Structure 1
Amino acid sequence: MTGRGPAVGIDLGGTGPRVVVLDGDEVVARVSRATPTGFGTRTGAVDFLVSAAAPLLTKTGPGPLSVGIGASGPIDVDGVIRNPATLPGFSGVALLDGLQQRLGAQTVAIDNDAVTAALYDTRRGVAAGRGSALVVTLGTGVGTCVVRDHAPWRGADGVHPEAGHLTVDGGAPCYCGRTACWEQVAARSALQRSAERLVPGTAGAAAIDAVVDRSAAGDHAARELFEDFGSHVAAGLADLLTVHRCECVVLGGGGARYASAFLPAVRDGLGRVVDCFPMPELLVSDSDAYAGAVGAALLVAG
């Protein structure tokens, strides 16, 4: 334990938040909640998060409380989520002010969930101690964060870049208005859609698992699916590595669970790009379901 006080970390996922309390270096409490279909009042989102976090604070020691949040962006310079596509109940809400007042927090902060994932991976996970890392989360969308000298890279306006909307070949219409976005072909959700088409009658992770089994058994179509997916992942990585030249890439999010099936295609795709960047080490995140919440706590825990 340290004397810096406890930190609440909240990972705002699409289906519901995961909340941890970090006291010093130790996770002393955690909980997962399902988000209701509607909050009903203007303060409903804050009420919901307080109801999840407050009971956990009985596990903490003394010291000033801090609260950190990780959420899929965009997040504006005032710390307000602007993402009605995947976080409708939390978008446009003054979460920081509400949580600071209701929980009595001294410090509050919010950042893109790709940043909080990267904080976990580069401080406690597979990329700990690396000088530079490109962390990519393959989930409902694609989140990215470049960490250099222990700090996330940001745009000139201070806002985290939404690199999931890079243009790549083979893209599909995206909710952002473009028609060839990286996350439409390289997210875990894109892999799931492809798997469901290949294995009719299955859905969700079960469809991807079925394709993994078929690929391992030598099924050509299944192997081709993972080769296509890996090549799409590599296409976006190549653009980012050309600019940032990171020493390692960390793949996380739900899609990373299947990395062994598509990493050969990622390596092949990156290897086809000549003299644009040094070949990075490709790592798979060792994070668990609560790593994003721990990363959110690290936003404010130091």
Structure 2
Amino acid sequence: MSQKLLGIDLGGTTIKFGILTQDGQIQEKWAINTNILEDGRHIVPDIVASLKHRLSLYGMTKSDFIGIGMGSPGAVDRSEKTVTGAFNLNWAAKQEVGSVIESELGIPFAIDNDANVAALGERWVGAGANNPDVVFVTLGTGVGGGVIADGNLIHGAAGAGGEIGHIIVEPENGFDCTCGNKGCLETVASATGVVRLARHMAEGYEGDSAVKAAIDNGDDVSSKAIFEAAADGDYFADSVVEKVAFYLGLAAANIANILNPDSIVIGGGVSAAGEFLRSRVETYFLKFAFPQVKKTTAIKIAELGNDAGIIGAASLANQFAAG
């Protein structure tokens, strides 16, 4: 039997695991709750225990695996295989991750940032179609992403490569961002950013709109509700989506004018709007992109959903194949 890959997607509420073939096909997957109590000290032991249990259940040993890859939030030191500042895990101080997992399981281990890892997954067997030049933009609570150029993930001098959410798209009158700047893409295109933009635009809108009425009433409004209302013909909601698409198209064109990737893949919760969002982003992308870039870079919607993390994490383990 050919050797397998193990992928781990570490999140603030769940830890997802997968056993994959060397060409990225998931054969088994499972998940456990993330126990962040007591400064997150249970997380790594829980991962080890879950892996040991499953391998025993499937009658597998360390010799059945090429390696383990993991995506984690926070600042990841890839060479030391540690994580610092993953606050949704209660990991403020540096955490030994790789050394513990390797010593307990005897399988080589690799780790990277979770957004980078999702980019690797989507590039490998998702919308990126294993092309060597792919940019992944994930629209969730924030806006993250990863840049793969000439087959290599771009990390940058301080590991901050691919901070797509902090491209400035509204320099004059932009919203304050958590990074300290104003007008970052994250402030208008994340799930929370879409709602923030809608609340701002509602102040000057006079027409009929269920979404505007809900905002004026102080009701909770979600980005999903705004996109659904827009698709159903709510003119105000539609104008919000159009503005979000403008910002995304502008950012995508700026990225593509520098990198000219084969594709810019949009994923994350907001991307569930699918073609309704993609086609609008493409319209603005084509408006702002360099002529040769327009012809060669495609705007796509992600295909892997929640599996992107474990698939991308498993791809990290492929580096051990030659060993």
Larger radius of gyration: 2
Question: Which amino acid counterpart does residue 226 of structure 1 have in structure 2?
Answer: V
CA distance in 2, matches of 1:102, 1:203: 46
Contact 1:126 1:284 in 2 (8 A): yes
Could you say which residue in structure 2 is the equivalent of 1:74? Answer: 75
Q: Relative to structure 1, is the Cα distance of residues 130 and 42 closer, same or farther in structure 2, using a 3 angstrom cutoff? A: closer
CA distance in 2, matches of 1:90, 1:31: 27
Contact 1:18 1:31 in 2 (8 A): yes
Structure 2 residue 264 is matched with structure 1 residue 249: yes
Question: Which amino acid counterpart does residue 184 of structure 1 have in structure 2?
Answer: T
Name the stretch that deviates more: 85-94 or 147-156: 85-94
Could you say which residue in structure 2 is the equivalent of 1:212? Answer: 227
Identity of aligned residues (%): 26
Alignment partner for residue 280 of structure 2, among 247, 260, 265?
265
Structure 2 residue 178 is matched with structure 1 residue 175: yes
Could you say which residue in structure 1 is the equivalent of 2:4? Answer: 6
Could you say which residue in structure 1 is the equivalent of 2:207? Answer: none
Alignment partner for residue 100 of structure 2, among 98, 101, 125?
98
Unaligned runs of 5+ residues in structure 2 are 203-210
Q: Relative to structure 1, is the Cα distance of residues 185 and 162 closer, same or farther in structure 2, using a 3 angstrom cutoff? A: same
CA distance in 1, matches of 2:248, 2:83: 26
CA distance in 2, matches of 1:41, 1:185: 32
1:197-226: per-residue Cα shift (whole Å, max 9, x none)? 84458758xx34433332222111110111
Could you say which residue in structure 1 is the equivalent of 2:134? Answer: 133
Structure 1 runs, 4 residues or longer, greater than 6 Å off: none
Q: TM-score, normalised by structure 1?
A: 0.84
Structure 2 residue 248 is matched with structure 1 residue 224: no
Could you say which residue in structure 2 is the equivalent of 1:285? Answer: 302
Question: Which amino acid counterpart does residue 93 of structure 1 have in structure 2?
Answer: Q
Contact 1:80 1:95 in 2 (8 A): yes
Residue 180 of structure 1 aligns to a residue whose secondary structure is: coil
Contact 1:126 1:286 in 2 (8 A): yes
1:91-122: per-residue Cα shift (whole Å, max 9, x none)? 621111121122222x1111122222222222
Could you say which residue in structure 1 is the equivalent of 2:150? Answer: 149
Deviation at 1:284, TM superposition (A): 0.8
Contact 1:112 1:160 in 2 (8 A): no
CA distance in 1, matches of 2:309, 2:109: 16
Residue 75 of structure 2 aligns to a residue whose secondary structure is: coil
CA distance in 2, matches of 1:42, 1:140: 21
After TM superposition, the structure 1 = structure 2 runs for residues 181-192 of structure 1, keeping only pairs within 5 Å, are: 181-191=184-194
Unaligned runs of 5+ residues in structure 1 are none
1:156-175: per-residue Cα shift (whole Å, max 9, x none)? 45664423222221643333
Aligned residues: 296
CA distance in 1, matches of 2:308, 2:289: 35
Q: Relative to structure 1, is the Cα distance of residues 29 and 64 closer, same or farther in structure 2, using a 3 angstrom cutoff? A: closer
CA distance in 2, matches of 1:239, 1:268: 14
Q: TM-score, normalised by structure 2?
A: 0.79
